[in-house]
Structure 1
Amino acid sequence: MRKEQVDILNKNFKKSDKIHKDHEDRITHIENDLQRSATRDAIAQNYSQASTYANVIIIAGYVAFFNLWHVLIGKSEDWIVVSSGISAIISLTAFVTFEVFKIFSSTNFLIESDKVVKDRKRSLDEIAKMNEIRKLATIKYWKIQIYTTIIFGAIGTILVLAGYIQGLFEILF
């Protein structure tokens, strides 16, 4: 009889150990999810700050470009002035279009997230899924826009620089 009681106690201890282990695993999983969430939030905040800073620098670059470009009007060959202006306008249009897309995308996301939060039948996990879809769409569109912005901005800058170099040669020679 004693052996049976010991066996039952051992079984109960094993069950208890398994329950305890499962509980620890769940706690670890929750802690990992919280850490991931905190990391994602930090990354999103850093991206937002970096994006704002980059936008300020880019806008300052466009302001400087158009100020230098304006000086070239009537002082450099027309094809340089027109080509550099068109290139810069294409670059600026790509940049502004992407920023408008981000505003539109973020606004739609916030509206849809609000609907999910208000509807108790829907899971809050839907918000994370919607955000992932939004981020993927933004990245795809960003790849197109960044190349367009940089390439045409560089072409315009090179042409303005060429106009100034041409003017310098005319002054020196």
Structure 2
Amino acid sequence: MRQPSLEEWYGQVARAIDQLNEDVQKMKNDQLVDKQIEAFIQLNEKLMGHATNYTNLIMVAGYAGFFAFWSTLAGKIPAWLFSTCGLLITISLTLFIGWELIKMFWSAKHMRRTQSILAQSRRQATVADYEKAFQEFNAQTQKVWMLFLIPSVITGVLAAVMLVGFFSRELVCAARICS
């Protein structure tokens, strides 16, 4: 086997160093992308948390306002309308509270799972296992949440629409009489 000349050896070393520099640069770029993705994931989680809190605030305020208004209507609107609206808004509220209770127990179970992951010996896969569990939990809760949110909103809005329709009809009838 022939020994490379000094110039050939320098060329091989230079190419190896160039390749190593390219590999290091690629690793730096990959690490930067990973950090950016992680930042986006954290931002998305915060936004989802704020959106959920805002939704809950709006729903609770809506229920409180509706029940306060609805309770003043006893004897002033037909009994069937009073009862139907009460039933619809109660179904809506029950679904909302049911979801919050399910979410509370589900979150506690998830927290126990992630705590057990974090309590394991420190290893490279610990972070990946935690992130996977967290992402699975978020994906599952989003799917199930819609199963509660949609009927809750539909029944609540239907109760409100019925009252608005009744009062609109009454207003039109009253306007015809006054004319």
TM range (shorter): 0.7 to 0.9
Is structure 2 residue 120 aligned with structure 1 residue 114? no
Shift of residue 171, structure 1, vs aligned partner: 6.4
Secondary structure in structure 1 of the residue aligned to 2:72: helix
Q: Which amino acid aligns with 1:14?
A: R
Query: Identity across aligned pairs (percent)?
Result: 21
* Cα separation, 1, equivalents of 2:145 and 2:8: 65
Cα distance in 2 for residues equivalent to 1:7 and 1:108: 64
Asked if residue 64 in structure 1 is aligned to residue 49 in structure 2, the reply is no
**Post-superposition shift, 1:29?**
1.1
TM-score by length of 1: 0.88
Residues 140-161 of structure 1: per-residue CA shift (max 9 Å, x gap): 1122222101110111111222
Q: Shift of the alpha carbon at 1:163?
A: 4.2
| Whole-Å separation in 2 of the counterparts to 1:104 and 1:12 | 61
- Counterparts of 1:65 and 1:130 in 2: how far apart (Å)? 39
Given the superposition, is the C-alpha separation of residues 53 and 94 from structure 1 closer, same or farther in structure 2, using an over 3 Å criterion? Answer: same
The 1:161/1:26 distance shift into structure 2, 3 A limit, reads same
Shift of 1:84: 0.7
The code of the aligned residue for 2:25 comes to E
Return the alpha-carbon distance in structure 2 between the equivalents of residues 101 and 15 of structure 1: 59
CA distance in 1, matches of 2:10, 2:17: 10
Runs of 4+ in 1 over 4 A off after TM superposition: 165-173
Check 1:5–1:159 CA distance in 2 against 1; reply closer, same or farther (3 A cut).
Answer: same
Aligned with 2:129: secondary structure?
Answer: helix
What residue is the counterpart of 1:85 in the other structure? 86
In structure 1, how many angstroms separate the alpha carbons of the residues matched to 2:129 and 2:141?
18
Moved more, 14-23 or 101-110: 101-110
AA in 2 matched with 1:37: E
Structure-2-length-normalised TM-score:
0.85
TM-superposed CA distance for 1:59, in Å, is: 0.8
Distance 1:117 1:67 in 2: 47
Aligned counterparts of 1:164 and 1:68: Cα–Cα separation in 2: 13
Code of the residue aligned with 1:73 in structure 2: it is A
Q: Summarize the Cα distance change of 1:170–1:75 in structure 2 as closer, same or farther, 3 Å threshold.
A: farther
Q: CA RMSD in A?
A: 2.3
CA contact (8 A) 1:87 1:152 kept: yes
